[in-house]
């Protein structure tokens, strides 16, 4: 005798592991950057991005997380599954309570750095994503929101 009950098919949202819908990674060390990068790459692959696109997404996450460690010491990277009209993708949010960015326009131009680096982080991220928004306030921190759509 079979006691199994047949359930209706699950919706797409129900079949996707919760970690693929949203993940928050605390950032304080270089090891955390590696963790965020790997989780973002895994999420991107699961959402249907190619290996190349998933590596690009990992690079975006790495740049944003590195900025947290360099300038704010602590913060978080939030990865979310994105839906808009017929588009699917990933939202990457970098949040910190650091010193803020004194000159956003200058920071978004390649070659500007207050840490002695090449100054390609934020401007590079902006070029690699489809939607980019930055909100910063001196002494209160920075939130960068980047979206990459699956094509």
In a domain, residue 62? The reply is yes
Percent of the residues in the chain that have a pLDDT greater than 70, as a whole number: 79
Q: Tokens for 14?
A: 């129900």
In a domain, residue 125? The reply is yes
User: Residue for token digits 């605390």?
Assistant: 26
In a domain, residue 133? The reply is yes
3-state helix, strand, coil in the chain (%, to 5): 40, 30, 30
CATH number at residue 32: 3.30.565.10
Query: Is residue 51 pLDDT above 90, yes or no?
Result: yes
- Number of independent structural domains in the chain: 1
Domain span holding position 136: 20-149
pLDDT at 103: 83
In a domain, residue 5? The reply is no
CB 135 within 8 A of CB 97: no
| Beta strand spans in the chain (E) | 22-27, 75-84, 87-96, 131-137, 141-149
93-140 pLDDT per residue, tens: 999 999 999 888 887 876 555 554 444 579 889 999 999 999 999 999
pLDDT at 107: 78
pLDDT at 111: 56
Average pLDDT, the chain: 84
Query: Is residue 23 pLDDT above 90, yes or no?
Result: yes
In a domain, residue 9? The reply is no
Report the alpha-carbon distance of residue 62 to residue 144 in Å, rounded.
13
**What DSSP element (H or E) covers 127?**
helix 121-128
Q: Which of 11-20, 22-31, 117-126 has the highest mean pLDDT?
A: 22-31
**What DSSP element (H or E) covers 43?**
helix 30-47
More confident residue, 18 or 59: 59
17 to 22, 28, 46, 63, 69: CA distances (angstroms): 9, 26, 10, 26, 29
pLDDT at 6: 39
More confident residue, 11 or 62: 62
Instruction: Tell me if residue 61 falls in helix, strand or coil.
Output: helix
In a domain, residue 98? The reply is yes
106 to 89, 101, 103, 123, 141: CA distances (angstroms): 29, 10, 5, 10, 17
In a domain, residue 3? The reply is no
In a domain, residue 72? The reply is yes
């Amino acid at each position: 005798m079979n006691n199994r009950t047949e359930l209706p098919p699950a919706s797409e949202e129900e079949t996707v592991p919760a970690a693929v819908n949203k993940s928050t990674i605390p950032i304080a060390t270089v090891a955390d950057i590696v963790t965020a990068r790997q989780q973002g790459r895994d999420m991107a692959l699961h959402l249907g991005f190619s290996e190349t696109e998933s590596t690009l997404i990992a690079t975006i996450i790495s740049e944003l997380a590195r900025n947290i460690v360099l300038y704010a010491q602590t913060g978080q990277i939030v990865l979310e599954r994105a839906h808009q009209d017929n588009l699917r993708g990933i939202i990457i949010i970098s949040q910190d309570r650091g010193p803020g960015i004194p000159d956003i326009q200058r920071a978004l131009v390649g070659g500007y750095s207050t840490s002695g680096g090449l100054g390609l982080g934020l401007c590079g991220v902006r070029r690699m994503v489809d939607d980019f928004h930055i909100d910063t306030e001196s002494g209160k921190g920075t939130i960068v929101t980047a979206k990459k759509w699956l094509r």
